[in-house]
Structure 1
Amino acid sequence: METPIDQQPRPVGKPSMLGIILEPTKQFERIRENPRVALPLILLLVAFGLVGTWTGFLSADSPTTGSEVPVWLTVGMAAIVMALGVGVALLLTSLFHWLLTLLFRGEASYKQIFSLNTHLYILVLLSMIVTYTVASLTDVDPLQPVAPTSLAAVIDAKGFIGGILSGIEVFALWQLVLTAMGLSVIARISRGKAWTAALIIFVAGLLIAGATGAMTEFTQQMQGMNGG
């Protein structure tokens, strides 16, 4: 006996990066049922590679870049490092999110979590586009741009605190909210557990940003002492 047409399961739509912004809940359900990885990842790496090329050209004109470095080398390295950095960040972030959902007895697979983070990374891309657009229109050093949407843009601080403030940014907070929502929907865990998992990774990212800021300040101080 055939199943009536109105009772047959409807095909699950494909999740999209644009949909993550416009209708995130629907996309989370689609990622749970149909986690796409290959095409979104390729598009993301290409996009970040282009952003890396753009920043490479900006960096070539930076006073902190040696004039003896060929422009093509600066641009090529920036594109490669940007794309590889995004790939590694996605792998590690997804791994830790997945392990945390397992700890909270979630039902998600690593592929589902990786697909979630890949789609959410469009917010990171938008943040970088805004940041480097402002850097290209101002006198900001493109090697050390300050996101205009972060607290670092309104609070003058350097070192560890400056790094943390740079991580507290509109798109990053937006990504944090959607990550918590997505983990709850995809892993079928409570909102509290989903927020805990999302916040752990977010805070870890802030600490890394703070450590990077401290190292940058230390390096600049050492260069100043050697120059003096």
Structure 2
Amino acid sequence: MEPNVNTQDASGKKPSLFGMITSPSVQFERMKTKSPVWGAFFLFVIITTIVASITTYQAMNNPEVLANIPDLETAKMAGYFGIGLGAIGGLIGTVIWFFVAAGIYKIIMMFMGNDTPYMKVLSIYLYTYTIAILGAIINLILKLIIGGSAETSYTSLAPLFEPGTYLHGAASAFEVFSIWGLVVMGLGLQIVAGLSKKQATTIIVIFFILSVAFSSLSGIASSFSNLGQ
């Protein structure tokens, strides 16, 4: 993607969340003058909380899990517990992550000599998160249709490997919407924050490496957990 875009129609208008999928360059041009935060923030917190609740409920109602539950009443309670746990985790985790992720971007940009305000960086990240939300919804639908593992991302390379292994965890980082989101984030850093293409690419590569590292650690933890069973 190139940051060059016709700005004639971009000035004076608010960026659109849906437009981040169809025309991200135009939305980023609009962010130069208007960088809204809270509308997208609360919308995505709500959506992520709902998705997390359904995903956790699905995991708690997995046949393998239900096989270890003695009676129907306990199974129902486990399902309700799953919804509550997913909602709390999704709510708190998403709020914290939004601020932390934008903070990491801001710190790296400071080392590069860029003084873009934190709230503008947060706005760029939130609007780019539209792609992650789309991926989460599509993955949820696929899980409900296929009935597979709640931990598996079906838009990544993870399904090619056995769940609970190191390779499964590492492969989950190679996910279509995550990579797409990183590319768009890099575009936003160029257009809105004024980073060079080289600087933006460096930041995106750092985030991708961190993503692979954390996913790999998750896979290793799952492997050790399976060994102990």
The answer on whether the counterparts of 1:151 and 1:169 sit within 8 Å (CA) in structure 2 is: yes
TM-fit CA distance, 1:167:
1.0
TM-fit CA distance, 1:157:
7.4
Residue 130 (structure 2) aligns with: 122
Residue 200 (structure 1) aligns with: 206
Residue 80 (structure 2) aligns with: 72
User: Aligned equivalents of 1:206 and 1:17: distance in 2?
Assistant: 27
User: Aligned equivalents of 2:108 and 2:136: distance in 1?
Assistant: 28
CA RMSD of aligned residues (A): 2.0
List runs of 5+ in structure 2 lacking aligned partners.
1-9
Which residue of 158, 178, 184 corresponds with 1:152? 158
Deviations 1:38-94 (A, max 9, x none): 111000011111112221331231223663462222101101211222222221111
Deviations 1:166-204 (A, max 9, x none): 110111110111011111112111001011011111211
User: Aligned equivalents of 1:23 and 1:107: distance in 2?
Assistant: 26
The answer on whether the counterparts of 1:152 and 1:165 sit within 8 Å (CA) in structure 2 is: yes
Residue 95 (structure 2) aligns with: 87
Which residue of 92, 107, 114 corresponds with 1:99? 107
Q: Residues 107 and 28 from structure 1, CA distance in 2 versus in 1: closer, same or farther, beyond 3 angstroms?
A: farther
TM-fit CA distance, 1:213:
1.2
Deviations 1:89-141 (A, max 9, x none): 22111111111112112241110111111111121112122222222122412
* Percent of aligned pairs with the same amino acid: 21
Larger deviation, residues 130-139 vs 43-52: 130-139
How many equivalent residue pairs?
Answer: 212
The answer on whether the counterparts of 1:97 and 1:113 sit within 8 Å (CA) in structure 2 is: yes
List runs of 5+ in structure 1 lacking aligned partners.
1-9
User: Aligned equivalents of 2:173 and 2:33: distance in 1?
Assistant: 32
